[in-house]
Each structure stands twice: as structure tokens, then as C-alpha cells.
Amino acid sequence: MTIKPPKKPEWLRVKVPSDRSSFETIQKIRQNALCTVCVEAQCPNQMECFNRGTATFMLLGPVCTRNCAFCAVEKGRVAAPDPREPFLVAEAISELGLKYCVLTMVTRDDLNDGGAFHIERTVKTIRTKTPEINIELLISDLSGSGGALTKVLQTKPAVLNHNIETVERLYPKVRPQAIYARSLSLLAEVAKTSPSTTTKSGMMLGLGETRKEIIATMSDLRSAGCQVLTMGQYLAPSKKHLPVAKYIDPQEFDAYREEALRLGFVGVASGPLVRSSYRAEELYAQAIRHQEETRENNNLNRKPNCTKMLHISDNAQPFRDASQGVHE
């Protein structure tokens, strides 16, 4: 028996702003033949962001090596990384006059370093053109490679984002090639080895998770040292993807935001249309302000419990030590 998905509520109807700013942003992206997660992942906020002159650039091509059941990004055969991409992205960012940018990536399990060298090269190239820019990296799990993660962290991003996406119980259905504990391990490793980097993660709601599971996932993220959290409504990109199990109303998102703050997150964005990189600069500024206020009040941040998460699952797979190396 096929269960009919619930009807999309009014609060998910998006008003599409469009003026010369959005046109110019789109033109710069097209001129450089760049990929953005805004378009590839069918983000509902893409025109709003384009209107504000921002975009989230997606590195390593438009095709992913994994088959997550929620994602609109194309799956299949991938091409070698484009050596021109770092320069094209840097040029677009310079032309847009950005002071803050978000770089994301497709998962590249075909590359020995998961694409870490390409990310490093892109960040360095961006900084040659825009030295004062703050960069947020939204990365894959890099197949658990500690060496690849070290290479990424050596670029000194302002924010390192890795999305947990959903609760542990739903991983086999939603993210069959990912591992819940491995994603937590990545965040814990960042918190431990690069304390000046703000750690961030995101969740989709409406896939069939329970409130108890959502709270448990938030607690696991905090135990791993995650500081910033985004929560948004899952929207099925097509009939071939997982159907929406439930539409979460805005009041529930507000309640989850309060719970996340209570758990100790320093920046939280929670709402039906929130996505990982939506208004990322504002959320980063919010987190920095909170941290400064905390220091001023002499309430020193506690060191994150980077080992607790290793006991969350019997199948925990901590990140491999950096000494295992990365092959470029």
C-alpha cells in the first residue's frame, strides 16, 4: 500500500524576489561555468540569496559518487577535478565583492583524499584575490580520512560545516553510504585540533524522525563539540526521492531552536526554509558575538567532550589518524 505524502502547507510557499542584483549574480556564475549548490540541490532560497549577491559554490563538479535518498545532486560517473575551477571561483568571488563565502563539495569517494587537495588549492587561490575574506567550508565526511581533514583544516576556514543530516536510526534509508558515528567523529576532530574554527552542522526534519531522536542528535552534536546548528524542512526533490513523512510547523522549529540553545549551541537557525548555508554570514556573526560575550563574562568555554561520541554507537568509526597520509 502506497502512503500518500502530506499536502505542502502555505508556509512553504516561497515568494521569489528578482531584480538586477539577482540577474548579475546569475550571470557571473554562468560566465565562469560554475556549479552552485543553490541550483544543483534545488534550494528554495536561491533567488533570495542571488538577490543579495551571494551564492554557495559547489566544488569538484556537479556529480556525486554517493546515492543519498534525499539529495537532488546528480549521481553517477564523475570527471576528474577541473584544474581551472579554483581560479574561476576566486574570480567570481572577487567580482561579486564578497567578504564571506561558502564553499561546498560533492562527495568524491573516487579520489584518495576525497578532494581535500582541490579544496585547499581553491581556498588559497581565493585568498590571493580576496585576502580578508572569511570562508566557510561545507565538506563531505572525506571517507573518514584524518589526513584529508588535516589538509582541509590547514586552510584555516572561519567555519567548518559537516551536516549530520538526520537521526541515526534513519541513516540506512536516508544516507546508506554514510556512517552516523563517523560524521560525529569528524566534527569532534575539528573541535579538538582546530579550536579557533567554528564547527557547524545541519539537520533535515520531516523524514520520519521523532522528537526524542532529534533531541538526542542535537545532544550528540554538542558532545562532539559542534557549536552552530541549522534545522530545516526536508522537501523531496522528485517522486524518485524519499517522500516527506511530515511537514513541521514553524512553532515546532522555534521550540527546537530553544532546545538547541539550551543544550549550548552558540548559533542556531531553525525554520521550514532554513538550509545549511542560508544567511551563513549572519549566523557566523551571531556565534562570534556569543563567544565574545561569554569570554567577557569570564565563563570560559568548556572543552568539548570529543571522546563521548565514540560510545554513541556500537559501530562507531573514529577518524583515522593523519599519519595514515593523503594521496594527492
Span 232-255, pLDDT tens digits: 999 988 888 899 999 999 999 999
The residue assigned the cell 574570480 is 91
Give the whole-angstrom CA distance, residue 19 versus residue 4.
38
Q: Is the dihedral of CA 117, 276, 302, 310 positive or negative?
A: negative
Helices (H) and strands (E) in the chain, counts: 11, 9
Question: Residue 271: which pLDDT band, with cuts at 50, 70 and 90?
Answer: very high
Q: 326 is written with which cell numbers?
A: 593523503
Which stretches of the chain are assigned E, i.e. beta strand? Answer: 56-59, 63-64, 74-75, 100-105, 134-138, 159-161, 198-205, 228-233, 267-270
pLDDT tens for each residue of 184-237 = 999 999 999 999 999 999 999 999 999 999 999 999 999 999 999 999 999 988
203 backbone dihedrals φ, ψ, rounded to 5°: -130, 145
C-alpha closest to that of 278 among 37, 34, 64, 7 = 37
pLDDT tens for each residue of 130-176 = 999 999 999 999 999 999 999 999 999 999 999 999 999 999 999 99
Exposure letters 45-56 (e unless 16+ CB within 10 A, then b): bbbbbbbeebbb
Give the whole-angstrom CA distance, residue 201 versus residue 190.
12
- The residues facing 202 across adjacent strands are 230
Q: 106 is written with which cell numbers?
A: 560533492
Q: 62 is written with which cell numbers?
A: 556537479
Question: Residue 10: which pLDDT band, with cuts at 50, 70 and 90?
Answer: confident
Give the whole-angstrom CA distance, residue 82 versus residue 98.
23
Give the whole-angstrom CA distance, residue 74 versus residue 78.
10
Give the whole-angstrom CA distance, residue 84 versus residue 64.
19
Give the whole-angstrom CA distance, residue 20 versus residue 22.
6
Could you tell me what percent of the chain has a pLDDT over 70? 76
Report whether 197 contacts 160 (CB < 8 A).
yes
Residue type at 95 in one-letter notation: E
Report whether 122 contacts 86 (CB < 8 A).
yes
Mean pLDDT of the chain: 82
